[in-house]
Amino acid sequence: MANRYYCPAHVTPRCERGDGKPKHPKCRGCGSKLETETGSHGVFHWTAQNRYPAKDAVKVYQSPKAAQDYVDKQGGDLVVRWIYD
C-alpha cells in the first residue's frame, strides 16, 4: 500500500502534493489541512483515452521511484499512473 498527499484547496502554486505521508498536517502554501490517500503506483501502456483501470496495469509498485525506474529501463509507451484503492 502506498500513500500520497495533496492540498485539497490548491489555491497557490506552492500548494503541496507529494508521495508518502506528509511531514506536517497543513499545506505550507495556504494552510489547508492536507488530504492523504492510499493506493499503488501502476505501470501502464499509454492510452489516448487517459483511462488506466487497475486491471490493465503491467506492473504495480508501492514505491513511485521503483515504478519510474521500471519505466525508464523499459522505455516504449509505458507511463506511471496512480491506482486508487
Residues of this chain that bind Zn ion (CB under 5 A): 7, 9, 15, 27, 29-30, 32
Q: Which of 57, 67, 58, 55 is nearest to 2 (CA)?
A: 67
Q: At closest approach, how far in Å is the CB of 61 from Zn ion? A: 27
Interatomic CA distance for residues 37 and 32, integer angstroms: 16
Q: At closest approach, how far in Å is the CB of 28 from Zn ion? A: 8
- In the complex with Zn ion, the residue whose CB is nearer, 5 or 44, is 5
Q: At closest approach, how far in Å is the CB of 25 from Zn ion? A: 12
Q: Which residues of 65-79 are buried (b: 16+ CB within 10 A; e: fewer)?
A: eebbebbeeeeeebb
